[in-house]
Amino acid sequence: MMNVLDDLRKKIDACDRKLLELFEERMAIVDEIGRCKRKHGLPIYDPKREAEILQRYTGDAQQFFSEIMRLSRARQARELLPYNIVLIGFMGTGKSAVGKVLAHDLGREFVDLDQAAEERIGMSISGFFKIQGESAFRALEQELVREFAVYEGMVIACGGGVVLEPSNVKRLRQTGRLVLLEAEPETIYERLKNDTSRPVLGDQVQLETIKKLLDSRDEKYKRSADLVVNTDQKNVQETADEIIRRLLQGES
């Protein structure tokens, strides 16, 4: 029995060597494609192309090629965008939703600092505010920024108040580009008017409260940003595509 298994395992090893050789050849071509995309300002993620490839396969084979394409996106992203992409801005501008799409399109890991905070404290942020207060939450934010800013190749969505602390901005800039997502107060109100989980906006979201808080933070948001993207009248995919395109083109 063991002799049979040894022979089969040797065949597997031989297959693996061939797969690795082909994989390395494929990735070399991916690098060429990445350079071409950068030259012409094309997006890293081409959903139509990936869908065409996946339609050729089913079952395990489809899953295999799906992972290959994720690795290809991640490789291009490391080469073309060799830094963390850090989303900052006011509540309701789309940081979490856009961050997830960016992470998928770039083959990267995504972290939402607000979600990480809730996992750390074992309760909602609004509940923590009521018990511990805002200053305790801001200290927790600083701890999370120190923890995640040292990683590379990530998409990080920050809470609306993260950049109010200069040390957070300094740490995030060491490994990342800060992308400010903006929206008009009326847009933010429409997105958040039924949301009861935003403690700095009070128990009932009011347009005037949003305007006042936005006005008080606007200067710090803009001063912290390497790139500013407006999300009014754009869906999540359109916003993610614009971020990637403008980063590739070196825009601010």
Token pair 């409260």 in the structure block, residue = 209
* Average pLDDT over all residues of the chain: 91
Contact present, 198 and 126 (Cβ < 8 Å): yes
Domain boundary among 47, 79, 111: 79
Q: Which two tokens stand for residue 103?
A: 């992470």
User: Which pLDDT belongs to residue 195?
Assistant: 78
Return the sign of the alpha-carbon dihedral for residues 154, 159, 160, 166.
Answer: negative
Contact present, 86 and 169 (Cβ < 8 Å): no
> Number of folded domains in the chain?
2
- Domain holding 66: CATH number? 1.20.59.10
Give the tens place of pLDDT for each residue, 146-155. Answer: 999 999 999 9
Claim to verify: residue 124 and residue 217 sit in the same structural domain = yes
User: Which pLDDT belongs to residue 176?
Assistant: 96
Average pLDDT estimate for 33-46: 80
Residue span of the structural domain in which 69 resides: 2-79
Domain boundary among 45, 79, 113: 79
Instruction: Show the CA angle centred on residue 83, arms to residues 80 and 84, nearest 5°.
Output: 125
Separation of alpha carbons 107 and 121, rounded Å: 29
Separation of alpha carbons 240 and 97, rounded Å: 9
Claim to verify: residue 224 and residue 240 sit in the same structural domain = yes
Which phi and psi (to 5°) does residue 166 adopt? -55, -35
Helices and strands per DSSP (H, E), number in the chain: 11, 5
pLDDT at position 251 over 70: no
Give the tens place of pLDDT for each residue, 113-139. Answer: 999 999 999 998 888 888 998 899 999
Q: Which two tokens stand for residue 151?
A: 């990683």
Claim to verify: residue 171 and residue 58 sit in the same structural domain = no
Give the tens place of pLDDT for each residue, 51-61. Answer: 999 999 999 99
Q: Which two tokens stand for residue 59?
A: 């079952």
pLDDT at position 5 over 90: no
Claim to verify: residue 146 and residue 189 sit in the same structural domain = yes
Domain boundary among 79, 96, 127: 79
Give the tens place of pLDDT for each residue, 204-239. Answer: 788 999 999 999 999 999 999 999 999 998 999 999
